[in-house]
């Protein structure tokens, strides 16, 4: 009986220690989430509006007029898939959901390209890199930006978007997709795969299509000078949004996971304390019975 009591005491001590860790991790994630949530909340409306402007402009001007190849749709021969995950785990199904969305995209749309070696995966974050290292040939992985989350400045993140833009423009890739997690709140995140390039043009309504009309934009300075500066900046801002969305989602998912782990530890502690008290009561009752029995035998 004493051995059982000792075992239960050790389990209670172990769970208490674990609960202290989960509480601390929850508090750290909550503090980081506030900053990350503020960053994406301020960035998203700006990025979304710029993206709509870009789609609208490219829908109403030809590629020659725009002076850009970012809106040109080509036959898909080579694919770049950017997978944005976190560097650390203990965030519930956060990383698994992003990886699952990326793997489903490959299986559903780019299985043939993958089998022919015409699909490359650029990994941002160690969890995604670890997954694809085990499942893909190393020459089809780009691991130069795995530690990007160490510095999320616009200048640093724009290196990745500029690489994708340059190689799409030069014809190395015909499509660039990004798998990331869209942040909604601390409890809800959505794993998505978004087409980064070519730019998805804004659909025209039926009446405009029939009349073959275009929006009459006034460009100042010249159309070419403005679009040469505007389009790359909008694309880089859009990519920054992907990364900041994932960053906020990571901390939200980890905070929620650690909160749930703390609650589960409370439930385990309650059950173990009941078990401990029952075992202790049984031990006391047994000892009393032995004492009474011994006294009766002596009498």
Token pair 């979304």 is found at 48
Q: What CATH number is given to the structural domain containing 51?
A: 3.40.1380.10
Cα distance between residue 92 and residue 227, in whole Å: 42
Structure-block tokens of residue 233: 């900046």
Share of the chain above pLDDT 70, in %: 90
Interval 151-170 mean pLDDT: 94
Do 179 and 192 meet the contact criterion of CB atoms below 8 Å apart?
yes
Classify residue 16: in a domain, yes or no.
no
Q: Looking at the 3D structure of the chain, how many domains does it have? A: 1
Q: Is 225 helix (H, G, I), strand (E, B) or coil?
A: helix
Residue 124: pLDDT band (50, 70, 90) is very high
Check whether 217 has a pLDDT greater than 80: no
3-state SS string for 52-92? HHHHHHHHHCCHHHHCCCCCCCCCCCCEEEEEECCCCCCCC
280 lies in a domain? Answer: no
**Between residues 299 and 78, which one has the greater pLDDT?**
78
> Structural domain of residue 154, as residue ranges?
22-257
CA distance 152 to 274: 49
The per-residue pLDDT for 102 is 97
The secondary element (H helix, E strand) that includes residue 64 is helix 63-66
User: Tens digit of pLDDT for each residue in 34-90?
Assistant: 999 999 989 889 888 887 877 777 776 665 555 567 878 899 999 999 999 999 999
Residue 92, in any domain of the structure: yes
Give a yes or no: residue 266 inside a domain. no
**Residue 283 falls within a domain, yes or no?**
no
Supply the pLDDT for residue 1. 57
For the stretch 163-211, pLDDT in tens is 999 999 999 999 999 999 999 998 899 999 999 999 876 655 444 444 4
Q: What is the pLDDT of residue 64?
A: 58
Measured in degrees and rounded to the nearest 5, phi and psi for residue 119 equal -125, 130
Structural domain includes residue 83:
yes
Q: Which of 250, 253, 256, 234 is nearest to 43 (CA)?
A: 234
| pLDDT attached to residue 208 | 42
Mean pLDDT of 106-130: 95
pTM recorded for the entire structure? 0.84
Residue 3 lies in a domain: no
Residue 56 lies in a domain: yes
């Amino acid at each position: 009986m004493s051995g059982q009591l000792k075992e239960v005491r050790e389990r209670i001590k172990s769970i208490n220690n674990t609960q202290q860790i989960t509480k601390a991790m929850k508090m750290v994630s909550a503090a980081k989430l506030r900053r990350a949530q503020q960053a994406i909340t301020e960035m998203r409306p700006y990025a979304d509006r710029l993206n709509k402007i870009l789609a609208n402009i490219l829908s109403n001007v030809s590629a020659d007029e725009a002076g850009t190849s970012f809106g040109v749709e080509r036959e898909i021969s080579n694919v770049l898939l950017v997978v944005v995950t976190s560097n650390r785990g203990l965030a519930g199904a956060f990383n698994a959901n992003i990886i699952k969305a990326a793997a489903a995209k490959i299986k559903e749309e780019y299985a043939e390209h993958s089998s022919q070696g015409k699909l490359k995966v650029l990994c941002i974050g160690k969890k995604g890199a670890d997954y694809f290292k085990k499942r893909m040939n190393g020459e089809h992985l780009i691991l130069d930006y795995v530690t990007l989350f160490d510095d999320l400045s616009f200048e640093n993140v724009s290196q990745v978007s500029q690489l994708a833009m340059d190689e799409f423009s030069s014809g190395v890739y015909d499509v660039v997709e990004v798998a990331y997690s869209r942040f909604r709140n601390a409890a809800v995140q959505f794993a998505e795969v978004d087409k980064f390039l070519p730019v998805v043009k804004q659909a025209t309504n039926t009446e405009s299509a029939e009349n073959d009309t275009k929006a009459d934009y006034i460009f100042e300075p010249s159309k070419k000078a403005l679009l040469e500066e505007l389009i790359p900046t909008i694309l880089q801002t859009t990519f920054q949004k992907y990364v900041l969305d994932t960053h906020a989602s990571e901390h939200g998912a980890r905070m929620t996971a650690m909160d749930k782990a703390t609650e589960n530890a409370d439930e385990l502690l309650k059950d173990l304390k009941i078990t401990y008290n029952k075992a202790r009561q049984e031990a006391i009752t047994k000892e009393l019975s032995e004492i009474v029995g011994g006294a009766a035998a002596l009498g």
